[in-house]
Copies of this chain bind each other. A is one copy, B any other.
Amino acid sequence: MEDFLDDLIAWLRIPSISALPEHANDVHAAAVFTAGLFRKAGLENVGLIEGEGHPLVVGDWLHAPGKPTILCYGHYDVQPAEPLHLWNTPPFEPTVLGDNLYARGAADDKGLAIILIKAVERLRQQGPLPVNLRFLFEGEEESGGDHVSNYLRTHPEALACDAALICDTEMFAPELPTLCVGLRGILYAELEVQTGETDLHSGVYGGAVPNAIEAAARIVSSLKDLHGRILIPGFYDDVAAPTAEELASWARLPFDAGAFQREEARVHALTGEPGFGVLERSWARPTFEIHGIRGGFTGPGAKTVIPCEATVKFSCRLAPGQDPVRVGELLNAAIEAAALPGVRTQLKILHSAKASVVDPANPYVRKAALAMTEVFGRETVLTRSGGSIPIVGLFAETLGVPSVLTGFGLPDDNLHAPNEKVYLPNIERGIEAIVRYWQSLGEAL
């Protein structure tokens, strides 16, 4: 274990919190340290790409002619550590307790990304690599920076490859090797509702004039039925359902809805569209979720205002097949149809992305699954995620390649939360699995 633990601990000591300007020097130090790990592993052409925001760290090894080229992605930045008082050990003093290593970034992403680096190191110690590799690590994943997307859009040739490989996801359950082969898309929007020119007194005018928050609440309530089915006409037209095979494989996953409700989501009840299971609802069905309603008076005490304006923030997660532009149009039409007389609406799309799915029959996915199965001694499961990992869409769009998302984290790793940890035996197994994966890719696909 020594060959990765010392390096990982030193990396985790650097508080590379990309969202906080006061840690800018730490983020830069982490980039320099990352470059050092790349060099030590035996990568070539290692360097920092400086630009707006935090640097990208790149490196490559391209001496396997005729073999596939894999783009390895990771990020060296971390989330803020707050609330500090809930940590049992200091977040930037990595601490080994039993088989776990506790630190901010232990799982997201340094402790998983190091798997890719150490897999190179092991193979290079034995000689040339079985495949061509490019490495691209960024320092703005946790803060939504544009550096990596700007670089990909302007320098796609510098990252030309056959597939991307990302070590930033988790296993469905402990000991269950997992590959994520689908991500939902998203359409994030703001709805502005206006009923008049000024807020009015509810004593003088109440009963005779429209209320912008009531209008907004009524519109958004009308877009979904009581059971969670979205009522926007045409919304489901293009939704591509998972294959029967995929659904059957999800049904075989060790999933306990009661435990999910009580221990993981900690909600008073599970809800959602009738006729679909919990995993299908959250992985493969499109959604409509309200994030907040701004307007009127929400401070302490009582103020009797009839608000003339309200803004609703909401998003739709999109299923494969749905086009964000068309969904935006359908949404706008449904909102305009739901607005009562005297209610003016304006819909603003803040950002959007299509869903991403990878064909499980794709050889880059298939061989990754096989390698993980061999190392873990259990069949690799193929899952999806209900979230949207922007880099996956970006790789598809700019490089035209599929992404392989290997899960070596555990469901209880406390990502973005106090007491983040990584299960150290999984790093070792991850390195072994990646080594086997590249070796298998070096053979005929």
Contact = CB atoms under 8 A, between A and B. Distances in A.
A145 interface: no
Contacts of A419: none
A425 interface: no
B268 A210 contact: yes
A343 interface: yes
Contacts of A205: 265, 282, 386
Given A204-B282, A308-B267, A342-B268, A296 B290 contact: yes
B207 A282 contact: yes
Interface string A276-316: 00100110011101111111111001111111100101010
A296 B196 CA distance: 25
A200 interface: yes
Interface in A317-370: 317, 340-344, 350-351
A340 B226 contact: yes
B271 A210 contact: yes
Interface stretch (A49-57, A129-137, A213-221, A398-406): A213-221
Given A297-B313, A302-B315, A221 B218 contact: yes
B206 A386 contact: yes
Nearest to A270: B208
B385 A290 contact: no
Nearest to A190: B302
A302 B207 contact: no
B303 A291 contact: yes
Task: Assign chain A's interface to a size class.
Answer: 35 or more
A194 B269 CA distance: 11
Contact of A315 (B224, B278, B304, B344): B304
A223 to B, nearest CB: 10
A173 to B, nearest CB: 16
Contacts of A268: 194-196, 210, 341-344
A313 B299 CA distance: 9
A224 B268 CA distance: 27
> What is the copy number of this chain in the assembly?
2
Given A297-B292, A313-B297, A387-B203, A208 B281 contact: yes
Given A213-B290, A268-B344, 7 more contacts: A188-B304, A200-B265, A204-B282, A207-B273, A218-B221, A289-B306, A290-B296
Nearest to A227: B340
Contacts of A289: 202, 206, 211, 214, 304, 306
A441 interface: no
Contacts of A291: 202, 213, 296-297, 303-307
* Interface-centre pick from A209, A210, A304 (highest chain B CB count, 10 A): A209
A226 to B, nearest CB: 6
A271 B301 contact: no
18 contacts: A188-B302, A194-B268, A203-B387, A204-B282, A205-B265, A207-B272, A207-B281, A207-B286, A208-B278, A209-B272, A210-B268, A214-B220, A268-B341, A269-B342, A290-B296, A298-B311, A301-B350, A304-B315
